Amino acid sequence: MASEPLYTATVPPDWVDYNGHLRDAYYGLICSHATDALMDQIGLDAAGRARTHSSLFTLESHIHYLHAVKLGAEVQVHCQLLGLDAKRLHMVLSLVLPGRAGSVAITVAVCEQMLLHVDVRGPRSAAFAPEVQAPLQALAAAHRLQAVPVQVGRVMGLPRTVL
């Protein structure tokens, strides 16, 4: 979390629900834009996508909501790669309200995601190009000794007996 944020969003009025809080789906939109920022970093920006006919599709997204977020708040997104294979990327995004003078940073949500590299001409899954695989490998190496948020890998559920 000491690293620079991947992406920063400021909560606009139309993302706030009847409780006066950031609506659940817009935490997801912040994550979606953060993933766009990651794609820019690894050469899958608009030019790279056009040149290679490729993109990333989201296979799964699991958000854990930890704190409410208010209108106008600045939300920073930090990215940690958890796994990588020829076609897939497993990562966790932490949404953080940065600490100001006298206050500590607060993690407001944790979002685990699985992304698939796709040749959009099919569309069909496709291996990352070497020039994309290289920065992903570098990120994975940089992140591999970081602590993993406790929410990663959790299964949600209630005892079935209460039904």
Binding site for a second copy (CB under 8 A): 18-19, 23-26, 28-29, 31-32, 46, 49, 55, 57-65, 68, 81-85, 88, 90, 112, 114, 120, 123, 140-141, 144, 153-160, 162-163
- State which residue, 99 or 144, has the beta carbon closest to a second copy: 144
Least distance CB 85 / a second copy (angstroms): 5
Q: What share of the chain is helix, strand, coil (3-state, %, to 5)?
A: 30, 35, 35
Least distance CB 99 / a second copy (angstroms): 22
- State which residue, 31 or 79, has the beta carbon closest to a second copy: 31
Q: Are the C-beta atoms of residues 77 and 7 closer than 8 Å to each other? A: yes
- State which residue, 63 or 96, has the beta carbon closest to a second copy: 63
- State which residue, 23 or 37, has the beta carbon closest to a second copy: 23
Q: Are the C-beta atoms of residues 75 and 9 closer than 8 Å to each other? A: yes
Least distance CB 101 / a second copy (angstroms): 26
Least distance CB 120 / a second copy (angstroms): 6
What is the rounded distance in angstroms from the CA atom of residue 57 to the CA atom of residue 74?
27
What region, left, alpha or beta, does residue 54 occupy, with left being phi > 0 and alpha being psi -120 to 50 degrees?
Answer: beta
- State which residue, 24 or 131, has the beta carbon closest to a second copy: 24
- What residue ranges in the chain does DSSP mark as E strands? 7-10, 54-65, 74-84, 88-97, 106-119, 124-125
What is the rounded distance in angstroms from the CA atom of residue 37 to the CA atom of residue 129?
18
